[in-house]
Amino acid sequence: MRRYSKTLVFFLSLWPIYVISYQIISNQLGPEPVDRIINHFGEWTLIFILLTLSMTPLKKITKSVEWIKFRRMLGLFTFFYASIHMLSYVGLDYRFDFEPLINDVLKKKFIFIGFSAWLLLIPLAVTSSEKMVILLKKNWKKIHRLIYIIGIFGVLHYIWLSKTIFFKPLIFLIILLILLLFRIKITRSASKI
């Protein structure tokens, strides 16, 4: 069973693709289909950031290293969904019309921070392979701490684009804060030793 767990997680991680494909085929995207597609992938990007950030705490809680082997895959799925999210905004909504897009990035703080989060994901995706871990040694860990900033940027992006923080943005914020607090606790107890 354990041998197949990674394959299982891989196919489960494709869930957002199954859902949106079904909605497109059965014409269930609703009155604002473009908005629906963008939001769908945006929300799933955030969920995958939180899932990625959950693996280390789960390892500590369950005292099982099993979780860590999913971390890279979940991180890459985060990048995958973030890229679809951004591409659907750039391509589907703005038709690659770069003038209003550049204007958006510069003038709207939620787009600025969202775009920054996506840019920050690139080095993480590029350095995700086993080879890179060996090559970069200690620096690898430092680079990959960027995920904390990406998480904060991502949730801020969601809060700023929403009319009110109630309720979904607030829920994402709370979960992110809990996951980040774990890190502080872990490093504190680690430094004591």
Partner 1 sequence: MIKFKNSEITPENIYKKRRSFIKSIGLGASSIAMSAIPHVNKSLASERDKLTSYKDITTYNNYYEFGTSKSDPYRNSQIFKTTPWDIDIEGEVEKPIKLSMEEISEMFISEERIYRLRCVEGWSMVIPWMGFSLSKLLSKVNPTSKAKFVEFESVYDPAQMKGQKYPVLNWPYNEGLRIDEAMHPLTTVVTGLYGKKLPNQNGAPLRIFIPWKYGFKSAKAIVKIKFVENMPTSSWMWASPREYGFYSNVNPNVNHPRWSQATERIIGEGVWAPRVKTLMFNGYGDQVASLYSGMDLKKNF
Q: Is 31 in the site for partner 1 (CB under 8 A)?
A: yes
Is 32 one of the binding residues for partner 1 (CB under 8 A)?
A: yes
CB of 59 to partner 1, least distance (A): 35
Residue 31 CB, shortest distance to partner 1, in Å, is: 4
From the list 4, 11, 96, 166, which residue makes contact with partner 1 (rule: CB under 8 A)?
A: 166
Shortest reach from residue 115's CB to partner 1, in Å: 15
Q: Is 132 a binder of partner 1 (CB under 8 A)?
A: no
- Nearer Cβ to partner 1 (133/161): 161
Beta-carbon contacts of 22 under 8 Å, excluding residues fewer than 6 positions away, are 28
Choice from 76, 90, 104, 116 touching partner 1 (CB under 8 A):
104
- In the complex, the smallest distance separating the C-beta of residue 108 from partner 1, rounded to whole angstroms, is 6
How many CB atoms neighbour CB 96 within 10 A? 9
Write the interaction track for partner 1 spanning residues 105-124; mark x where CB under 8 A is met and - where it is not: --xxxx--------------
The type of residue at 135 is L
Q: 3-state DSSP helix/strand/coil percent for the chain, to nearest 5?
A: 85, 0, 15
Angle between helices 68-87 and 33-62 (to 10 degrees): 170
**Sequence-distant contacts of 118-122: CB under 8 A, at least 24 apart:** 118/82, 118/83, 118/86, 120/146, 120/149, 120/150, 120/153, 121/78, 121/79, 121/82, 121/150, 122/79
Binding residues for partner 1, rule: CB under 8 A, are 24, 29-35, 37, 92-95, 100, 104, 107-110, 160-161, 163-164, 166-167
